[in-house]
Copies of this chain bind each other. A is one copy, B any other.
Amino acid sequence: MTFENQPLRSLNGFRMTGRDVPDTGSVTLVSPSAIGAINRGRVLQALYDNGPTSRADLARMAGVNRTTVTGIVQPMIKEKLLVEGKAGRPAAQGGKPARPLYFNPDAPMLGAVLLLPGSIQTCLVSLTGEISAHRRAVFDPNGDVDAFVATMKETLGKTLSEAKQPPFGIGVAAGGMIDSDNGVIVAVNLAPVLSGLPLVGILRDHFGLQVVIDHHPRALLVGDRWFGPGRGQQNFAAIYTGEVLGGAFYMDGKVYRGLAGSGGELGHTIVQIDGLRCNCGKRGCWETLGTLSWLRAQAAEAGIDDPLDIDCARLVRLAREGSEAAMDLLDRYARNIAIGIANLQQTLSLNAYILHGDAATGGTMIADLVRRHVEDFVMMRPNQEISILVNGKGEGHTALRGAAGLVVSDHLKLVI
């Protein structure tokens, strides 16, 4: 099944909310007809956040009349986007039992792509977060653009062809510098072939589906928000550690993108003026202290076995087995990761941070160490609590679900 020239479908209603909103200089008035799409989006988000929920509960949560919720969900049930579950137990005082609503498992799915230097992963993601039709491919990071595009089209095409019905859209998570507004990959240090590639336009034209692209940490954030530990949260950040350091923020119920999607390049905030030389050419970037390269160099100095193969998971194992050198290094690693989080906390006060990548393999042990150092580094307010969580689902998993979540987020324009 292919989807060339399909009419664009929409998740939250019966009207496309694509690129049709010209930014006319900061003022935009709201029309009564726009209310429908907005409220449909909010109801869907409430369902995501809370799981199966009855109309009456939704109405209570939103502070609106039950009739309003009925009016919103009825067309969605008719469209087979939502299904009514079995009547639950009524309350102790009696009453008609509530019938919970949730997403139809047979509803259209979302296409997801994870694009890292040299590797492509594609899959389908259901509205409830299940992954299927997963495929991998490789490409030459220094090779030919046309060859890359052909590989991409073929791999994604095979994945999409396994869908029973046209997906709602395609989400792409990519490493490197992304201009998400214009759907262009600006530059990828380790894959020059991708630089300047208008991937969104290419895929949209080829598959006839809505396509959204964003950079990798932001996909992790969205994956956390829709399907992971960030579900239902209004303020948190996702932090990626590994060979590089990156991050993305969810603030006041909204993904922060900055101008042209350029916010969140945390790895190159400076935590040590005139410190170690960084790959970016500057000195003292957070990335010089919180990445695997630092960890491995330090492991060698500390005399830990196979220092080039060390990662957070093994370091935690060694520490648990009683190695003092490992414990010491782990603590210093945690401190280095904490410094950037602390600065972010001091700046935005999000209070919740989800670790991905290498640090996440260290589980609750590293999370606890990081939290303690963060609390040392920031000025805490009374009654304030900072939580550090790990999402150890494995990279591809969360990023792909996040890429799918990008499509969902794009449909549900929750902010006017």
- B26, B49, B273: the one contacting A272 at CB < 8 Å is B273
Contact with B along A50-81 (1 / 0, CB 8 A): 00000000101111100010000000000000
A177 to B258: give the CA distance in the assembly, Å.
27
A103 to B54: give the CA distance in the assembly, Å.
48
- A46 and B27 form a contact (CB under 8 A): yes
CB-contacts of A328-386 with B (<8 A) = 339, 342-344, 346-351, 376-379, 381-382, 384
Interface centre among A264, A272, A289, A349 (most CB of B within 10 A): A349
Return the chain B residue nearest A64 by Cβ. B29
- B343 and A265 form a contact (CB under 8 A): no
Smallest beta-carbon distance A40→chain B, Å: 10
Smallest beta-carbon distance A380→chain B, Å: 10
Residue A180 is within 8 A (CB to CB) of chain B in the complex: no
CB-defined contacts of A177 to chain B, threshold 8 Å: 381
A259 to B264: give the CA distance in the assembly, Å.
19
Return the chain B residue nearest A335 by Cβ. B273
- B42, B43, B280, B348: the one contacting A258 at CB < 8 Å is B348
- A266 and B29 form a contact (CB under 8 A): no
Residue A282 is within 8 A (CB to CB) of chain B in the complex: yes
Contact with B along A7-45 (1 / 0, CB 8 A): 000000000000000101111111110010011001101
Return the chain B residue nearest A416 by Cβ. B416
CB-defined contacts of A342 to chain B, threshold 8 Å: 269-270
- A379 and B280 form a contact (CB under 8 A): yes
- A27 and B62 form a contact (CB under 8 A): yes
A258 to B346: give the CA distance in the assembly, Å.
10
A58 to B26: give the CA distance in the assembly, Å.
11
Residue A251 is within 8 A (CB to CB) of chain B in the complex: yes
A109 to B197: give the CA distance in the assembly, Å.
54
- B38, B39, B61, B272: the one contacting A25 at CB < 8 Å is B61
A379 to B49: give the CA distance in the assembly, Å.
36
Size class of the A contact interface (CB-based, 8 Å): 35 or more
Return the chain B residue nearest A39 by Cβ. B29
A379 to B349: give the CA distance in the assembly, Å.
24
* Binding site secondary structure of chain A: loop
- A42 and B28 form a contact (CB under 8 A): yes
Residue A396 is within 8 A (CB to CB) of chain B in the complex: no
CB-defined contacts of A35 to chain B, threshold 8 Å: 30-32, 35
- B346 and A268 form a contact (CB under 8 A): yes
A262 to B344: give the CA distance in the assembly, Å.
12
Return the chain B residue nearest A253 by Cβ. B26
CB-defined contacts of A262 to chain B, threshold 8 Å: 349, 381, 384
Interface centre among A343, A347, A415 (most CB of B within 10 A): A347
Contact with B along A287-300 (1 / 0, CB 8 A): 00100000000000
CB-defined contacts of A269 to chain B, threshold 8 Å: 342-343, 346-347
- A63 and B22 form a contact (CB under 8 A): yes
Smallest beta-carbon distance A385→chain B, Å: 11
CB-contacts of A368-416 with B (<8 A) = 376-379, 381-382, 384, 415-416
Further contacts, 11 of them, CB under 8 A, given A27-B46, A265-B346, A415-B416:
A24-B60, A27-B43, A29-B68, A30-B39, A268-B378, A269-B347, A270-B377, A271-B271, A271-B272, A282-B379, A416-B416
A-B contacts, 29 listed (Cβ < 8 Å):
A26-B45, A26-B234, A26-B253, A27-B42, A27-B46, A27-B62, A29-B43, A30-B35, A30-B416, A38-B416, A186-B381, A186-B382, A235-B258, A251-B256, A258-B348, A258-B349, A258-B350, A259-B350, A259-B351, A268-B346, A268-B379, A269-B346, A270-B271, A270-B339, A270-B343, A271-B271, A272-B272, A273-B339, A280-B379
The 4 A-B residue pairs with the shortest CB-CB distance, nearest first, are: A258-B349, A262-B349, A269-B343, A27-B46
